[in-house]
Amino acid sequence: MRTNENTLLEGHNVVLVPYNASHVPRYHEWMKSPELQQLTASEPLTLEQEYDMQKSWREDDDKCTFIILDKQQWADPSSREEQCMVGDVNIFLTDPSDPSLAELEIMIAEPSYRGKGIGKEVTNMMMSYGVNKLRVKKFEAKIGLNNEVSIAMFKKMHFQEVSVCPVFREVTLLLTVDDSVRTRLQDDTAHVKERDYRLTCSNRHELLSQ
Ligand SMILES: CC(C)(COP(=O)(O)OP(=O)(O)OC[C@H]1O[C@@H](n2cnc3c(N)ncnc32)[C@H](O)[C@@H]1OP(=O)(O)O)[C@@H](O)C(=O)NCCC(=O)NCCS
């Protein structure tokens, strides 16, 4: 969608930036990994298909995506942005008759960044963006039954199991955004700053100097 095409979200350890064509080659490299294909239930795409996919995530009104960057690394203006990429996070408005229902997906593609709290940090940031900007009221996560880490993370974040599909070997977890979820999200993301992406790109060093 166009809503976040110039939005940067700054967290403690990460910045989330809109998915641009310049990110595609690294993303495409990640998705050659059989482990990531299996964990995210994705089919490998050609580079050209990956560019088309990026375009559709940018243009379609039902899809919102951010690339996750290592904040410390990105704040150094000499780093190329593609080198700072850690993963991605998406919201997909799956039901045209209910735009308040969103499927949430996250991938920390770089193994060395996993298990350090980044998945939780990014998921909170994306849920807060979804609730406040996109008016999401229910989040769904569909996860492979063998992806114990992801299932554990979403359960830790108060998602409840609602169904298991034996055919796709997938579990669906749901979180309804009530007052307690809103309060928790507000507390967990109180530090998050929303910035203008293009302006911040030319003043990256300022991120660490405040
Ligand atoms: C699943 C994923 C998003 C989790 O992100 P992460 O940054 O590794 O996780 P965090 O460090 O934020 O930990 C969040 C919770 O996940 C669980 N977790 C993390 N690492 C774990 C491990 N090795 N074993 C079991 N549970 C684990 C814990 O419940 C943890 O909460 P806690 O630290 O309070 O106990 C990430 O590992 C990932 O992207 N993996 C590859 C792709 C993928 O599986 N994507 C999800 C597709 S549905």
Per-residue pLDDT reduced to its tens digit, 88-138: 999 999 999 999 999 999 999 999 999 999 999 999 999 999 999 999 999
- Residue 45's contacts (CB-CB under 8 Å, 6 or more residues apart) are 28, 31, 53
**Looking at the domain assignment, is residue 209 inside a domain?**
no
Q: Beta-carbon neighbour count of residue 151 at 10 Å?
A: 18
Q: Which atom of ligand 1 is nearest to the CA of 36?
A: 42
Using CA positions, which residue lies closest to atom 22 of ligand 1?
149
- Write out pLDDT tens, residues 70-98: 999 999 999 999 999 999 999 999 999 99
**Looking at the domain assignment, is residue 92 inside a domain?**
yes
What is the CA(107)–ligand 1 centre distance, in A? 10
**Looking at the domain assignment, is residue 11 inside a domain?**
yes
Q: Which domain holds residue 58?
A: 7-200
- The CATH number for 192's domain is 3.40.630.30
Structural domains of the chain, count: 1
pLDDT at 210: 60
- How far is Cα 19 from Cα 27, in angstroms, rounded to an integer? 10
- How far is Cα 92 from Cα 102, in angstroms, rounded to an integer? 5
**Looking at the domain assignment, is residue 105 inside a domain?**
yes
**Looking at the domain assignment, is residue 207 inside a domain?**
no
- How far is Cα 74 from Cα 204, in angstroms, rounded to an integer? 7
Q: Which two tokens stand for residue 158?
A: 């108060």
**Looking at the domain assignment, is residue 130 inside a domain?**
yes
In contact, 13 and 70? CB cutoff 8 Å: yes
Q: Which two tokens stand for residue 115?
A: 């298990």
Of residues 6, 153, 146, 21, the one with CA closest to residue 82: 21
For residue 96, the cross-strand partners are none
- Write out pLDDT tens, residues 12-68: 999 999 999 999 999 999 999 999 999 999 999 999 999 999 999 999 999 999 999
| Contact 152 CB / ligand 1 (< 6 Å) | yes
What is the CA(121)–ligand 1 centre distance, in A? 11
Q: Which two tokens stand for residue 188?
A: 């967990």
**Looking at the domain assignment, is residue 193 inside a domain?**
yes
- How far is Cα 185 from Cα 179, in angstroms, rounded to an integer? 10
What is the CA(89)–ligand 1 centre distance, in A? 14
pLDDT category, 208, cuts 50, 70, 90? confident
**Looking at the domain assignment, is residue 2 inside a domain?**
no
| Contact 68 CB / ligand 1 (< 6 Å) | no
Pocket test for ligand 1, best of 112, 118, 153 (most atoms within 8 A of CB): 153
